[in-house]
Amino acid sequence: MTYAITQTCCNDATCVAVCPVNCIHPTPDEPDFGTTEMLYIDPRSCIDCGACADACPVDAIFPVDRLTGKLRAYEAINAAHFADREPAPAAASPTFHSWGEPRFDRSLPSDFAPIRVAVVGTGPAGMYAAEDLLLHTNAEVTLIDRLPVAGGLVRYGVAPDHPSTKGAGETLARFHTHPRARLRLGVEIGRDVSAEELAAHHDAVIYAVGAPSDRRLGIPGEELPGSVPASALVSWYNAHPETRPDAVAPAAAERVVVVGNGNVALDVARILVTDPERLAATDIADHALAALRASRVREVVLLGRRGPEHAAYTTSELLALTDLPGVDLVVDDHDPRVAAAVDAAAAGGKAALLRGVARETVDWSRGPAEGRRRIVLRFHSSPVEVLGGERVEAVRVTGAEAAGGTGGDGVHLAAGLLVRAVGYRGARVPGLPFDETTGTVPHTGGRVEGMPGTYVVGWIKRGPSGGIGANRACAAETVGSLLADAVAGTLPRPTGSAKAFERLARKRSRTLVDARGLAAIDRTERARGAAAGRPRVKLTTVPELVAAARGAERWRRPPG
């Protein structure tokens, strides 16, 4: 029986490395690696060894005879990826993929001296870089994060109802206690320590600071209360300590409009309409769970500027919406181009995914049927203006008129909350060059231009594209550049020692947390979760995190 890769694939290619018959594609050496939504197993080559399932950091790989519910579709999804790529094999004859030539991208001299590298950011990009350095060299790594807890995107960006995806974080977290790693959490570059001071204490510095800002819509009314960026809502339900518990108020809104139809937009929609009691078994923030229990949201409208054939979401994220208990998925049939694209789509195309989804010309003067919640996909439609007095009351959108519309000035969607999910943007790092157009740090192969010994990885390097696993290949390139510079002797010599940097960091930061403190935070959150029948209950403020790290307070059983 063959195996299949399913919904939570993180694309980091760990499975590719362990496959003995080269049946998982695309591999990191193939052109479409990094652009496909997920990796796929060729059922004609798989020998049922299970090595890939054992290696997968997010538990995304299963024997096809164990696929149930919505996961059953992945048997066909995996097979379809190879349908027109290889000649049809003879009966009972497997298809074997050719192996590429062996590659040795790095060649370190036998007397390679240990180097000291600082990695700024403990999300996937930073941790993949740290993993590469710790496993393949004798480098000493200082892990730095402005928050007093590690995890970055995995902790604060992955939806709480995707626990398997968080498994990548658990895999990378093992390097927090590596004997050649040191954690200096709660230290912000540019506030506590300058980029120059950091560089002076290390042979090299890798910045993995992500893309924390949001792209703007640029329409009137965008700044009204009740208009929030998707990053704020995601941070809110993930208990980010820099997001207030009252930053989002869904209770007053029956309809929410989400601008965008990428995976983040779908995450937001799914969380807003999912039965809160299902979310109660996750690590969702306590304040978000309480707010969703009191919420009146019954409909979420996802606006896509282009048609369904160009939707930004992945197949797996759309499939996750198709069987939410008590939630209807609807395609707004307001524009004839939508139906035409769905009906004409080739198998495997984005639009073809919607063939089994109900279509209707939505009457925007009415909400969903009583007792039901729904998610509406509205394509060929863009926001023009946010309307309201003291807060968001409606959104005027473009597109063919629908029942309940307002004529030539577009369609008015009454809404109490607008979520802007049109992409992220990198922010300037004090002391580093910055390209305002791309929102990235200018670099060549990860080398920051004009700053020897300084490197970038992840979204601040390549822009906000690619999921968790895409950072592995990105990190490999950056670390490769760093090691090449080390071998060439072009890295600046540090003037300060590791001990000196530790003293500096402790002197400057009142929130510094080390590996022992991080372990204490983890124990505290897991204990709070066990008391509430949940995997963990996150601490939601910097003082709480620091107090737990220092053992200053015993946390009582959380309410609810």
Q: Measured in whole angstroms, how far is the alpha carbon of residue 282 from the centre of its chain?
A: 17
Give yes or no: residues 156 and 178 share one domain: yes
Query: Which of the listed residues 397, 422, 447 is the one where a domain comes to its end?
Result: 422
Read off the pLDDT of residues 444-501 as tens digits, 9 standing for 90 and up: 999 999 999 999 999 999 999 888 888 998 999 999 999 999 999 999 999 999 999 9
User: Tokens 């796929």 correspond to what residue?
Assistant: 40
pLDDT of 91: 46
Backbone angles phi, psi at 545, to 5 degrees: -65, -45
- What's 67's domain CATH number? 3.30.70.20
Give yes or no: residues 391 and 243 share one domain: yes
Tokens representing 9 are 């694939």
Give yes or no: residues 154 and 227 share one domain: no
Confirm whether 559 is domain-assigned.
Answer: no
Map residue 409 onto helix, strand or coil: helix
pLDDT of 556: 45
Q: Is the dihedral of CA 89, 90, 95, 101 positive or negative?
A: negative
Confirm whether 107 is domain-assigned.
Answer: no
Give yes or no: residues 234 and 277 share one domain: yes
Amino acid letter, residue 425 = R
Query: Which of the listed residues 422, 455, 487 is the one where a domain comes to its end?
Result: 422
pLDDT of 370: 77
Confirm whether 136 is domain-assigned.
Answer: yes
Query: Which of the listed residues 31, 59, 83 is the one where a domain comes to its end?
Result: 83
Give yes or no: residues 137 and 251 share one domain: no
Give yes or no: residues 362 and 436 share one domain: no
Give yes or no: residues 325 and 264 share one domain: yes
Give yes or no: residues 152 and 203 share one domain: yes
Confirm whether 101 is domain-assigned.
Answer: no
* Low-confidence spans in the chain with pLDDT less than 70: 85-95, 400-409, 552-560
Distance spanning both ends of the chain, measured CA to CA: 45
Give yes or no: residues 163 and 200 share one domain: yes
- Would you call 385 exposed, middle or buried from its count of C-beta atoms within 10 A (0-12, 13-18, 19+)? middle
Q: Pinpoint the alpha helices (H) of 405-541.
A: 459-462, 470-488, 498-508, 515-532
Give me the domain span that covers residue 538: 515-549
- What's 183's domain CATH number? 3.40.50.720
Confirm whether 381 is domain-assigned.
Answer: yes
Give yes or no: residues 300 and 318 share one domain: yes
Give yes or no: residues 529 and 466 share one domain: no
When divided into structural domains, the chain yields a total of: 4
pLDDT of 406: 46
pLDDT of 95: 64
Size of the chain in residues: 560
pLDDT of 448: 97
Confirm whether 195 is domain-assigned.
Answer: yes
- Would you call 502 exposed, middle or buried from its count of C-beta atoms within 10 A (0-12, 13-18, 19+)? middle
Give yes or no: residues 338 and 418 share one domain: yes
E-only strand ranges, 296-347: 299-303, 327-332
User: Tokens 């969607």 correspond to what residue?
Assistant: 413
Confirm whether 99 is domain-assigned.
Answer: no
Confirm whether 89 is domain-assigned.
Answer: no
